[in-house]
A and B are shown apart, each in its own frame.
Chain A
Amino acid sequence: MASLESLTEDLLVRIYKGLASDADRKSWRLVCRDFHRIDALTRSSLRVLRVEFLRSLLANYPRLDTLDLSVCPRIDDGAVAVLLTSRGSPWAFPRAAASSLSPPGRDPLAWTRGLRKLVLSRSTGLGHHGLEQVIRACAYLESVDVSHCCGFGDREAAALSCGARLREVKMDKCLGVTDVGLAKIAVGCGRLEKVSLKWCMEIGDLGVDLLCNKCVDLKFLDLSYLKVTNDSLQSIGSLPKLEVLALVGCSLIDDTGLQFLGGGCPLLRVIDMSRCNGISSCGLVSVAKGHEGLVQLNASYSLTECSSILLRCFKDLKNLNAIKIDGARVSDSAFKALSNCTSLVEIGLGKCIGATNLGLMRLVSGCVNLRVLDLTCCHSITDAAIFAISDSCRNLTCLKLESCNMITEKSLYYLGSFCLLLEELDLTDCGGINDTGLEYLSNCLELSCLKLALCPTISDKGLGHIASKCRKICEIDLYRCNGIGDDALAALSSGCKKLRRLNLSYCSDVTDRGMEYLGQLEELWDLEMRSLFNVTGVGLMALAAGCKRLADLDMKYCENVDDSGFWALAYYARNLRQINLSHCNISNMGLCMVMSNLTRLQEAKLVHLNKVTVEGFELALRTCWVRIKKVKLLAALRFKLSSDVRETLHSRGCKIRWD
């Protein structure tokens, strides 16, 4: 009789590949030796959590093409050196000893040849020496991400330039990189297709020019927030294959520069020029006229108004599906012009002066394919506009109505009747919303993200309606919703099992009972619960014990949580990566337990811990200095902490913010 065990290996691989979720694949590998081997031979991507396991994982997974070390603490030159030696080093990583599950004779460095993508984002402990070693060892590497390694500079850029096969480099926030470093990368990595240099503020026109000269295959370029001028745009215009260009916050660019762009980059599809103070409609016209294939145009907070010439240009862009003109002044005739662009799927009109009911009705009469609409701070719109929007745009998936305070429950009735594909709704600060409205809204069964911050008029009843029907909810924001209490959390815990992010800050009616309910939400990983006075150690313990995946916790001002809660946190919340304990009554011992036991903690805000002494901070920081990456401390502590602690933290790449 046929059984699962009678299937050949390739058939088992087929079945294994049908398991999409990480949990299922982990269950699979724990079933028996054969299944474990299938997993080892098929898994192609790993996100490593602890460095002790790294060596054996790399030895046992020969088909890895992607390695993500961004959440793995203690990645430094020493760790790299150990990984790249061909002998085992049991003294450094005890678990690397040969296990009966890994076949003997396998070359421990085989992984370097298979690796194509390496993520080292936030690996602040790594230096140029280690980086160069790993880039050289992984000869076929195509993509490397070192974003947010703020201390990285030209020496690290030189290390990256050793990767001749690199096609993708992400160096966002590598603050020390200058034109010299960029030049090295441009010369060394001629095949680059995707380069991201956001926030690398030392880079200027010279570096960009060299990059554009040497890397002619560039398809994606992000120079946001750099102090580049029109000269850079002239160089960029020469790139024949560029498809996506991001220049957010480049305040030194103006319309002259955009003209260069208008005449070049024939394949340009996506351009993001938001927050560029120097440009105007005129410059955008030259870009639009030159690129009939344009698909997305983002000019948020750059334009003071949208000229009629520009609006006419949009009509000629047959493939245009997203426009963002947040912050611009618009008129009803502008909306009429936009309504001719029937291919539009996404429109951003946040803080647009002059957005009226009439204008919007005109807009949606033409743009019936709209899926994403941002009307943040369009104060003058009312239920009538929402009716028109819901009726025309039945495929709406995302609607942002922050601060549209004339919206009432009628709008939610329309949305609940017509826009059944709605996934994301932002009703922050919409004072006209109430529980009845939420009942109407609960017909939108696809709802996954709901923002109700600053809505004092909603209560547990309204949230109960949502929780009972909208099973796909992943994110809810209830910041300062005074009417919310424990019963809302009870409803959420039974109805919204997929909840991942929750903001309960200042919902002071929540007590330990509510926390217990939250403990039943197994998927919860981001919780903000500032200033919940009625929550004590008992509540925190219930939360920590239940929400095993909790990674991000903000409990600032939760002054009534005592040490019993923090001990429980230290014991249970092993996946915690970021924590804000400012103004909490944690003791020396409690802080030490938390900082030492939570081995995945990377970021901690520890301001105004009144019960913790200087010695307490010293001890706590010493226990975690090998892995903590960002810490916020009271400014007064600056001169009281020993130089030992401060220097070690600095040398490990940890960023200290003094409040």
Chain B
Amino acid sequence: MSSSPPPSSAAASPSCPKKMIALRSSDGETFEIEEAAALQSKTLENMIDEDCAGTPIPLPNVTGKILAKVVEFCSKHAEPGVDDESLRAWDAEFVNVEQATVFDYILAANFLEIPTLLNLTCNVVADMIRGKTPDEIRKFFNIKSIFSPEEEEEVRRENHWAFE
């Protein structure tokens, strides 16, 4: 493994221990995350600024399983000296999970305001939709709400004849 260049923006100097933030998931699990990684989330950044980061921050909307992965994502993206290509490859592996998990990631990224994770996951879903017919999209995502036959006919007609 090649040596990584020194960090350009140090979250903490090597002599001080890195500041850790504690997070508690909805099902009671506690996780620790470096402050630098936590700053990827605007929500956490605000909380750290307001100095409520003493006790574990409760995150009622995120389960332990997902929170663990989100912490992993933020830590990886806060790592210094990772080149773009390997980060992209890591991201691709990260989202190579089942559909429901991707949606959990989206909801978590939205709640915690993590723009990198949100963009990544939304693009993944867009990729899943690309090239599919409406029927295939419904089946793939198990979408239950549909149109009435008249409505569907109207939309279909518009698609075909009305505009481009």
Contact present for B151 and A14 (CB under 8 Å): no
> Among A5, A32, A49, which residue has the most Cβ atoms of chain B within 10 A?
A32
Report if A99 contacts B (CB, 8 A). Answer: yes
Nearest Cβ in chain A — how far from B131, in angstroms?
Answer: 7
Q: Decide if A27 touches B134 in the complex (CB within 8 Å).
A: yes
Q: Are B162 and A24 in contact (CB under 8 A)?
A: no
Q: Does A46 contact B (CB under 8 A)?
A: yes
Q: Contact partner of A47 among B122, B142, B163, CB < 8 A?
A: B163
A19 CB-CB contact with B under 8 Å:
yes
Query: Residue A48 contacts which of B150, B155, B162 (CB distance < 8 angstroms)?
Result: B162
A 9-49 contacts with B by CB, 8 A: 11, 14-16, 18-19, 21-22, 24, 26-34, 36, 46-49
Chain B positions 136 through 153: 1 when the CB is less than 8 Å from some CB of chain A, otherwise 0:
011001111111101110
Say yes or no: B164 contacts A18, CB within 8 Å.
no
Main secondary structure of the interface of B (DSSP, over half): helix
State A101–B151 Cα separation when bound (angstroms): 7
Chain A CB within 8 A of B26 CB: no
Q: Determine the distance from Cα of A49 to Cα of B158 in the docked complex, in whole angstroms.
A: 10
Interface size on B, residues (CB 8 A): 42
Given A3-B141, A18-B126, A33 and B147 contact (CB-CB distance below 8 Å): yes
Contact check, A49 vs B164: say whether CB atoms are below 8 A apart.
Answer: yes
Q: From the candidates B107, B133, B134, B163, name the one contacting A2 in the complex (CB within 8 A).
A: B107
Residues of B within 8 A of A6 (CB): 103, 107
Cβ B154 vs Cβ A11 within 8 A: no
- Residues of chain A within 8 A of B118, CB atoms compared: 14
Distance of B105 from chain A, by nearest CB (Å):
9
Query: Does B123 contact A100, Cβ atoms closer than 8 Å?
Result: no
A11 B158 Cβ-Cβ under 8 A: no
Tally chain A residues at the interface, Cβ within 8 Å.
38
CA distance A27 to B158 in the complex (A): 12
A57–B100 contact, CB under 8 A? no
Binary contact track B58-92/A, C-beta < 8 Å → 1, others 0: 00000000000000000000000000000000000
A636 within 8 A of B: no
Name the CB-closest residue of B to A27. B134
Question: Is A31 within 8 A of B134, CB to CB?
Answer: yes
Q: When the two chains form their complex, are residues A46 and B129 in contact, meaning their CB atoms are under 8 A apart? A: no
Contact A100 to B148, CB < 8 A, known contacts A15-B126, A36-B155:
yes
Would you call B103 and A21 a contact (CB within 8 A)? no
Q: Which of B23-43 contact A (CB under 8 A)?
A: none
The residue that A46 contacts in the complex, of B122, B151, B154, B163, with Cβ under 8 A, is B163
Chain B's closest residue to A22 (CB) is: B164
Residue contact A4 to B126, C-beta cutoff 8 Å: no
Q: A100-B150, A101-B154 are in contact. Are A32 and B164 (CB under 8 A)?
A: no
Contact A24 B130 (CB under 8 A): yes
- B130 pairs with A19, CB closer than 8 A: yes
Pairwise interchain contact A19-B103, C-beta atoms closer than 8 A:
no
Q: With A18-B126, A19-B129, A26-B159 as given contacts, are A32 and B143 in contact (CB-CB < 8 Å)?
A: yes
* Chain B, residue nearest A54 (CB): B162
Provided the pairs A32-B145, A33-B145, A46-B163 are in contact, do residues A4 and B151 lie with their beta carbons within 8 angstroms? no
B138 → A minimal CB distance (Å): 6
- B100, B134, B158, B164: the one contacting A1 at CB < 8 Å is B100
B145 with A18: CB separation less than 8 A: no
Interface centre among A18, A36, A99 (most CB of B within 10 A): A18
CB-contact partner of A18 in B100, B123, B134, B148, under 8 A: B123
Residue in chain B with minimal CB distance to A48? B163
Give A50 to B158 CA distance when docked, in angstroms.
10
Residues of A within 8 A of B114 (CB): none
Contact, CB under 8 Å: A24 / B164: no
Min C-beta distance of B35 to chain A, whole Å: 28
Residues of A333-389 contacting chain B, CB below 8 A: none
| A53 contacts chain B at the CB level, 8 A cutoff | yes
By beta carbon, the residue of chain B nearest A28 is B129
Q: A3-B141, A19-B126 are in contact. Are A57 and B162 (CB under 8 A)?
A: yes
Q: How far is the CA of A19 from the CA of B147 in the complex (A)?
A: 22
CA distance A581 to B127 in the complex (A): 43
7 contacts between A and B (CB under 8 A): A2-B100, A24-B130, A27-B133, A32-B143, A33-B145, A100-B151, A101-B155
17 extra A-B contacts, CB within 8 A, seeds A2-B104, A6-B103, A26-B159? A5-B144, A6-B107, A7-B107, A11-B106, A16-B126, A19-B126, A24-B130, A27-B134, A30-B152, A30-B155, A30-B159, A32-B138, A33-B146, A34-B145, A36-B147, A46-B163, A50-B162
